[in-house]
Structure 1
Amino acid sequence: MTSDRSVRLLTERLVLRPTVPADIERAVEIRSNHDVARNLVWATIPPDVEKMTNWFTGHAEEWHQGSAYRLAVTLDSRLIGICDVFDVAEGQGEIGYWLGQASWGCGFGLEAAERLVRFAVEDVGLISLRAGCADDNTASAAILTRLGFTRLEDVQIFSRSRREEIVRRRFLLTV
């Protein structure tokens, strides 16, 4: 699938669109919240602005290569989070998502993740999706379960954001 900045994935309340460099400032603002960042194993607290900028800069090329699809989650045209399909290869990929804390508890995570999975299957053509979350991130685990993901295993990994070993739950969805 070629990169197309006009892609718009619609839900009842949200628009998911390819990220653009202009999203960096708001994404850094969201990720600066400790409670958001602690759920992302690769994140640093505070966020490394240079690394996030480099990450965003590579999104269009990843999309063009078909290796990852990074999407801004927007509500009323305001960025409230990021969701993505990444590590795409051989009909498989992994999904991830993070939202600003002000958007928690409103159903936006489920709404965005549901549309992301549909995009991964219908538009990208994936037949298997992986996902993971910290064992204490019950909201994310509930979203994955509602989407039909099966819990595979729990593994110990190092969380950069927490600066300690955590238990990560791994999930799988086969379509």
Structure 2
Amino acid sequence: MNPTIDYDPTFQLRTKRLVLRPTVPNDVERALEIRSNREVAHNLVAATLPPDPEKMTKWFSGHAEEWRQGTAYRLAITLNGRLIGVCDVFDITGGEGEIGYWLDRVAWGRGFGFEAAERLVRFGIEDVGLRSLRAGCADDNAASGAILRRLGFERLKDIRIFSTSREKEITQRRFHLDV
């Protein structure tokens, strides 16, 4: 397993329509705009509405160091050079990691989520060297659950978890993919 991959802001993962690249601090403004949409925030367990610019700035400023340490790889999802979302492999330890992704509301329903997640999974397995991946989504987020199943993830169990964005406990479906 390759524990770390050099951080290079010019690094790119390409799909048919998208470019995934390491996030940079300049992405914060656009990320705040995307995450300000109630429907986007609703699907993210730890999101606040409105998003906190200070927290978001701090989160983005730590991405390069996480990359260097091999603990997380946060990638901007771009379409024609414009940020439309973020995907990541995080909580990496012992050959395992978790994936996540979120997209601008206007990008929903066009296959971008699957396209980005598929490339992210390949990156986690082929480049990072992970042997298994985890993921989770709210039980009412059918689109995300469908993406995970299409990628070969198996549903393990449902757990109860507090959702900051919804300000209540929700049921989260947990998924797993072994390589």
What TM-score bracket applies, with the shorter chain setting the length? over 0.9
Q: Distance in 2 between matches of 1:56 and 1:63?
A: 11
Deviation at 1:49, TM superposition (A): 0.6
1:6 deviation in Å?
Answer: 1.8
Mapped to 1, the partners of 2:98 and 2:161 lie a distance apart of 17
Which residues in structure 2 correspond to 1:72-91 (within 5 Å)?
72-91=76-95
Tell me the TM-score normalised to structure 1 length: 0.99
Q: What fraction of aligned residue pairs are identical, expressed as a percent?
A: 70
Out of 152, 162, 166, which is 1:158 matched to?
162
Separation (CA, whole Å) in 2 of partners of 1:160 and 1:21:
24
The residue correspondences of 1:1-175 to structure 2 (distance < 5 A) are: 1-175=5-179
Considering only aligned residues, what root-mean-square deviation do their CA atoms show, in Å? 0.4
Superimposed CA distance per residue, residues 95-134 of structure 1 (whole angstroms, 9 cap, x where no aligned partner) = 0000000000000000000000000000000000000000
Q: Distance in 1 between matches of 2:121 and 2:115?
A: 10
Q: Structure 1 regions of 5+ residues with no counterpart?
A: none
Task: Quote the Cα distance in structure 1 between the aligned partners of 2:155 and 2:7.
Answer: 32
Q: Please report the TM-score for the alignment, with normalisation by the length of structure 2.
A: 0.97
Write out the 4+ residue segments of structure 1 that deviate beyond 3 Å after TM superposition.
none
Number of residue pairs aligned between Structure 1 and Structure 2: 175
**Structure 2: gaps of 5 or more residues:** none
Q: Is the 8 A contact 1:2 1:65 kept in 2?
A: no
> For 1:60, what is the secondary structure of its paired residue?
helix
8 A contact 1:30–1:36 mirrored in 2: yes
